[in-house]
Structure 1
Amino acid sequence: MADNLAEQRPFTQRLFISLGKKILRWSGEFEARHSLIPTTPKIENCHFPWVEKLEAAYPEIREELIELLKSPEKIPAFHQISPDQQRISKGNNWKTFGMYVFGERIDNNCRLCPHTAKALAAIPNMRTAMFSILQPHYHIVPHRGPSRAMIRVHLGLIVPTHQPDKLWIRVDDQILHWREGKVIIFDDFYEHEVRNDTDELRA
């Protein structure tokens, strides 16, 4: 009986994985049909009136990040606060400093970054927000989000510009580049990956 159970486990795992992929595909198709915005990999900023105000707050937000980076040892790696990210976050190569997580405000962190917190609070339906700090020569391997119910918004804060071919995010078949003070919006239901092959950090 023990041998039979051992043989069944891989089959059961494959069954659940296959079922999970089908559910994700079905939910993605349903969300796409009922979406109020385009479901393209990159979503144009013009669909969101608040983008202009967020970009206008860039100087103060960047200044608060620079202050935090003076004590990098106090900023945790992504997988230290979210263990389910261990596949894509290794060592101290991807650090995050969260201010909102699934709609919950992290008061201590918001107090340290009042200008950032104010700018974030003005974004309708914002659920999760953080500083995302990628160390030099790190690759976030291809992955995808579980649902089209949320989109990703990146405001470039520290972006090495002298080697654009070495710093990018791929969303589906599109290669995107950050610019300081500018917002990129994408649908992370599509497979995406990030590479920073420069000698500087990106945030």
Structure 2
Amino acid sequence: MERLQQIKRRAIIKTGKFLTRTVDRILAAQSLIGDAPAFDPAQFDWVRILEQNYEPIRREAEQLLKERALIPAFHEVSPDQKRISKGDHWKTHILYGFGRRIETNCRRCPETARVLEQIPDMMTAWFSIIDPGYHIPPHRGPSKSFVVCHLGLIIPRERDKCYLRVADRKLHWEEGKCFVFDDTFDHEVRNDTDETRVVLLVHVARPMKPLGQWVSRAMLALIKASPYFKDGVRNMRKWEDRYAAALKRMENQPVATDA
């Protein structure tokens, strides 16, 4: 029975990938910002909102690093990411997933959640934490319905050894600055340093002509109906409960006092 479910799942994913690539050709033609691997951040008014609030967002990221053991690896939330997320080296503190607010996580990062609520058509957002020496292999995102923004928060000093390659371009993070790209292009991440890299990753709806907006809404509905999304929601709920229980234990620990 389990093997049958795995075969069915693989078939759904394979069909879904074919469908998304076909739809992406339509969305590329409907895009109001073109179809480049990366974009000028100045094209997007909401980038200023993120950059102007860099300091409070970074402070919350620093606090999360102290609770690193409570944060799931990417593949522990989304099993489909096992090919690119190995071991415990890529942590994801998810705040929003395709429009769904993760309440426990947002309460831990209230300032970041407040900033995200100001971004029109924001779909997904999480803190992405990558260990020293880790490499995320080449892969592609699910849809051209949105663009991806990274706000640099904690960036290794050897910036030339820590980068995102998208198509034929290398994008280097800078603390307090954003870059925006299309993750349906082949891309990978390298952190060939001895320091941790932390960014706030945000998916925002791509500006589209009317037909593109309609197709994007239909595509998003299909994604939400897929195992890719449903498994992620189910796993995230488990981590929410585990996270909340761990935090409650921490809060209830007696405070040491001098004799």
Mark yes or no: TM-score above 0.5.
Answer: yes
> What are structure 2's unaligned runs of at least 5 residues?
1-6, 199-259
Q: Aligned residue for 1:176?
A: 171
Match of 1:200, SS? Answer: coil
**Which residue matches 1:79?**
75
* Residue identity in the other structure for 1:27: V
Who is 2:188 aligned against? 193
Structure 1 residue 166, shift from structure 2 partner: 1.3
Aligned letter for 2:167? D
SS at match of 2:122: coil
Q: Look up the match of 2:136.
A: 140
> Aligned residues, how many?
189
What's the CA shift for 1:72?
A: 1.1
SS at match of 1:69: helix
Looking at structure 1, the residues matched to 137 and 63 of structure 2 have their Cα atoms a distance apart, in angstroms, of: 29
Instruction: Report deviation, 1:39.
Output: 1.6
Measured after TM superposition, the shift of residue 22 of structure 1 is 5.1
Cα distance in 2 between the residues matched to 1:199 and 1:65: 19
* Structure 1 segment 39-118 matched on structure 2, within 5 A: 39-118=35-114
Higher relative helix content: 2
- Is the deviation greater in 24-33 or in 133-142? 24-33
1:154 is matched with 150
Q: Aligned partners of 1:128 and 1:79: how far apart in 2?
A: 16
Structure 1 unaligned spans of 5+: 1-8
Give the Cα separation in 2 of the matches to 1:105 and 1:22.
Answer: 29
Report deviation, 1:20.
6.1
**Aligned partners of 1:127, 1:57: CA distance in 2, in Å?**
19
Match of 1:27 in 2: 23
Per-residue deviation, 1:111: 1.0
State yes or no: 1:122 paired with 2:121: no
Deviations 1:29-79 (A, max 9, x none): 211110122221111112211111210100000001111111211111011
User: Alpha-carbon deviations, 1:150-189, whole Å to 9, x = none?
Assistant: 111100000012x223111000000110000000100001
- After TM superposition, where is structure 1 displaced by more than 3 Å over at least 4 residues in a row? 19-25
Partner of 2:216: none
1:165 & 1:69 partners in 2: Cα distance? 23
Letter in 2 for 1:106: I
Fraction of identical pairs, as percent: 52
Corresponding letter in the other structure for 1:144? R
Under a length normalisation based on structure 2, what TM-score does the superposition of the two structures give?
Answer: 0.69
CA distance in 1, matches of 2:93, 2:35: 28
